[in-house]
Structure 1
């Protein structure tokens, strides 16, 4: 996929590269699909095909003949315009695919299939057409369209100026709202701006708070302050990776009596490093060697919220972190009321923490957002959004 506009200097080497692919693998193994904009004349619904013709002309000058043209427009293309584009762009009329503005993004694949994109691709690549099963996808689209409730989730992070930094978390929250017929509105909150004095005001419009992953000590005190507010005010809280570690630090400081609790990531000589690098990794000097990366099993303890949500004893989740819950503080924190809901199969690593007396307070060391899909939302996100909805209704 090459973005931008044909003729942009930035894309020239990439266009040349895909031109050469044909000679290397054979034309029968390559299909060029060109997406163009078919604009309307301001103040009317008249569509103009000239930009498409010009764009294809530019591509031809670079040695690339599109096999299929996908026309992005707000209004349906009349047959005479489809034939005109096909004639002047050297393709079949059935290879001019309409891509109209849709009510929801998830409708676009269905629209493209309905308008013949799959048939064109199979034709040019000599593939057998098959009948796909769209039942789950169509049900999910119905859920999106029928959403008649709304919750606001506060996402407390330090990269919020660029929301795409948390795109997987945001999408997973949207997925989590679908089973509840609920639209999720995300309020991005800069953790560096949070203080004890303004925390209640900054979070007052939120029905739940999520603290996502991250690295470094910038903005951590603001996150801890937000987490404390959630715990003390029964506001649903979901901590992911660094968010879980901040929840452990907050609980240690304000419930377990460890006022100087911290993470060795932020303070190497911390008096109470409740978050630390595992002992067997402390002598590894290269950072990449200490990263716990990839899919790992987690054993869920009975009578916990997460065990009930997953319905299984052993789950597999994706990780990307360096520091862990310090086992030296397990007993102290459990005595204070922190539930260690999930651990590694060898019992050495704490993966999930919960606060039982709280309506919904969960921290996970892994990244559940990496396994959430629009038609298969992750159970943690589904239940978190449900808890936020319940909190809103109880207000």
Structure 2
């Protein structure tokens, strides 16, 4: 194991009953063992993220499922820090949704961008209910070649599980994805299921929950990719 451990922050409000919250620490430890690294994982409650000073000590960030969070602004503050400071970042399910919301507000300067679960009547709800809720569902995902997520999986065709009701609003998808945020994965119906940022060491977000594989003894490729990016950044 590496002498100096990597420090990973989990952005979200821990709930032991949430499957993803059970799985993510397991996924990271499995990935750490595969890479022969030492990793320390710390949960960051969203209502405790009141400033960025406390974020500098982390090598990487994972924004976890089970939103709405207690403090949306706290979650967005941590995501923005990871994006601007070029720290490796992974967002799954609710983390995907909030990564898109942060990008809309702070990169595209859409000050009125909202999450439709929190503000259902918002004129610029960039996150809205999926046409078909993906609760305890499994589906195939086609990844875009040469993206970081495709590199992580070593394939462009994957099969993953969901517990999600919200995704990108198709009305704003083109404007959201014409700059540095790009579509990197779609499901069998052609609906967007993964995004990532260009010109960032590692900033990947998925609507599916790859961490769930860890509870079946399978090390999630994205957990390995996240730790590899952290290791490279801290070298």
TM range (shorter): over 0.9
Written as runs of structure 1 = structure 2, the 5 A alignment for 1:198-213 is 198-199=51-52, 201-213=53-65
> Does 1:235 pair with 2:87?
yes
What residue number does 2:220 align with?
Answer: 378
What residue number does 1:293 align with?
Answer: 136
**Structure 1 unaligned regions, length at least 5:** 1-145, 282-289
Aligned-partner SS, 1:335: coil
What residue number does 2:202 align with?
Answer: 360
Report how far residue 165 of structure 1 moved: 7.5
1:132-183 deviation digits (Å, cap 9, x = unpaired): xxxxxxxxxxxxxx56452010111122799998221111011111222112
Q: Is 382-391 or 151-160 further displaced after alignment? A: 151-160
1:65-122 deviation digits (Å, cap 9, x = unpaired): xxxxxxxxxxxxxxxxxxxxxxxxxxxxxxxxxxxxxxxxxxxxxxxxxxxxxxxxxx
TM-score, normalised relative to structure 1: 0.56
Q: Is 324-333 or 205-214 further displaced after alignment? A: 324-333
Change (3 A) 1:261 1:354: same
C-alpha distance in structure 2 between counterparts of 1:213 and 1:304, whole Å: 23
Kindly report the root-mean-square deviation, in angstroms, between the aligned alpha carbons of the 2 structures.
2.2
Aligned-partner SS, 2:101: helix
The runs of at least 4 consecutive aligned structure 1 residues that moved more than 2 Å come to: 146-149, 159-165, 215-218, 290-293, 372-376
> Does 1:335 pair with 2:178?
yes
Q: Which has the higher contact order (CA 8 A, sep 6+)?
A: 2
C-alpha distance in structure 2 between counterparts of 1:247 and 1:217, whole Å: 13
Aligned-partner SS, 2:38: strand
| Residues 295 and 318 in structure 1, CA contact (< 8 A), matched pair in contact too | yes
- Larger helix fraction of residues: 1
Larger radius of gyration: 1
Q: Work out the number of aligned pairs and report it.
A: 235
Written as runs of structure 1 = structure 2, the 5 A alignment for 1:213-252 is 213-252=65-104
What residue number does 2:153 align with?
Answer: 310
Find the partner of 2:6 among 151, 161, 175: 151
Change (3 A) 1:176 1:303: same
Report how far residue 373 of structure 1 moved: 5.9
TM-score, normalised relative to structure 2: 0.92
